[in-house]
Each structure stands twice: as C-alpha cells, then as structure tokens.
Amino acid sequence: MTTEVKPPSGKLPILYSFRRCPYAMRARLALLASGIQCELREVVLRNKPAEFLTTSPKATVPVLVTPNGEVIEQSWDIMMWALRQHDPAHWLPSDANVFERGMQLLHRCDGEFKQQLDRYKYPQRHGLEDGTAARDEAMFFLANLESLLKQQRYLFNSSIGIFDAAILPFVRQFAHVNIDWFAAQPLPSVQAWLSAFENSTDFKRAMTVYPAWADNSPTTVFP
C-alpha cells in the first residue's frame, strides 16, 4: 500500500476528473501510486462548472492545478508530475531505453489505437455503418501488447508501471465494447493483464464513485 503524502505547502492540488474517462483514470492511478493527495472535483461533462471552464478553456478532463497554481492539462503530464515527486512503487523506468520504448507504445495507443477505438465504439459518429473494420485494425496494436506480455506479466517489468497504467484504461474501454467477443480472441496475456488490473485494489480505489462537483461544493480528498 502506498503511503499518502501532502505537498510541502500543505495546500492540496486540485484534480478535475470524470470517473469513466480513460484519460482521467490515468491521472487518478498515478496519484494513487505516488500517494499524493489532491482535492478531487468530479465534473459532469454535460454540465461543466464555470470554475472548471475558467481554469482550463479546453474544457476536457483531466486537469490538475498544482499548489503553486500551475495548470496541467494533459493526462500524461499529470502522471509524470505526480511520479517525479514521489514514486514509491517505482513506476518510472530507470532505463532510458525502456522509457523510449514505452513512449513509442504510448504514442501508438494515443494515436492510431485511440482513433480505431473511437470508430469501433461510436461508428455512427464517424459516418460508419459499424465498427468492425476499426476493431480489426485495432487488433494489430493488441497483438503487439500480447507479444510483450508473453515475456513478463506487465509491459516492461514483472510489476505494473507507468506505461501499463497509461494504456490499460484504453484497452479496458476497447474490451468492454463487446466483452464476449474480446474474451474469445487469441490474446490470453492481454486478457490476464486486463483482468489483474480490473481486480486490483488501486483500480477499485480509482473508480470510487464521488458526487458531482459544483462551484462551492464541499472538498473531496483523493485518495
């Protein structure tokens, strides 16, 4: 279990989040791993609070406001901010080559795989009759993950790291479009990896349901 710590200033960072968003999930997982407490503000995306929109005009979660007022608007940057301060579980690779390989995988996840996932899950939004072709294209990325996970339990190590936590929320979203179809695919290592993640204590803590935040709502401390 990670020891929970507060920033030296005593002022908590603020995390604007949305429970089901895979990008926000990344941020919460990294904060859990680092043990850094924050004030969590659960944003209802169809009714975004004015303070959130003022803080980040891009109007998408996650957004982190650090104790010194810096606004961090990208999920990966939030992960790195947290883990560079405190990384008790050694999520950050010490090997520069491993980090570079992980970044290449992350770019594929956030690029082509995310595009294929969106077309698979929401084909009508992209002018498609169905998402079958996009689903099949996405399998090339999953096959790459399968080859890595055959070598060890996690992508680059025997324990979970930052790249697992960054990619797993999107693989989870892909799997749950049609969980029975996913379970029937020749991806035993990916399926075991995802199952371990979904049954982990940190995942369950990251997916705790919090009330929607509005301007002047009471403070919710996470974790």
Q: How far is CA 134 from the centre of its chain?
A: 22
Whether the per-residue pLDDT at 157 is higher than 50: the answer is yes
The CATH homologous superfamily for domain 14-90+204-222 is Glutaredoxin (3.40.30.10)
Q: Does the pLDDT value for residue 4 go beyond 80? A: no
Do the beta carbons of residue 46 and residue 89 sit within 8 Å? no
Q: Where in the chain is the domain with CATH 1.20.1050.10?
A: 96-159+161-199
3-state secondary structure of 14: strand
Ramachandran bin of 10, using left for φ above 0, alpha for ψ from -120 to 50, beta for the remaining angles? left
Specify the pLDDT at position 211: 92
> How much is the average pLDDT of 138-150?
97
pLDDT band at 10 (very low <50, low <70, confident <90, very high): low
Instruction: Return the pLDDT at 214.
Output: 85
Task: Delimit the CATH 3.40.30.10 region(s) of the chain.
Answer: 14-90+204-222
Q: Assess whether pLDDT exceeds 70 at residue 8.
A: no
Distances (CA, A) of 104 to 101, 111, 135, 139, 221: 5, 10, 21, 17, 34
Per-residue model confidence as pLDDT tens digits over 25-42: 999 999 999 999 999 999
Phi, psi of 208 (to 5 degrees): -55, 140
pLDDT, residue 1, reads 40
pLDDT tens column, 74-126 = 999 999 999 999 999 999 999 999 999 999 999 999 999 999 999 999 999 98
Q: What is the dihedral of CA 62, 134, 164, 208, to 10 degrees?
A: 50
What is the pLDDT of the chain when averaged over all its residues?
Answer: 93
The pTM for the full model equals 0.92
Judge whether 13 and 66 are in contact, CB under 8 Å. Answer: yes
CATH topology of domain 96-159+161-199: Glutathione S-transferase Yfyf (Class Pi); Chain A, domain 2 (1.20.1050)
Residue pair 31/15 in contact (Cβ under 8 Å)? The answer is yes
In whole angstroms, give the CA distance from residue 165 to residue 26: 6
d(CA 195, CA 176): 12
What pLDDT, on a 0 to 100 scale, did the predictor assign at position 109? 98
Report which residue type is found at 6: K
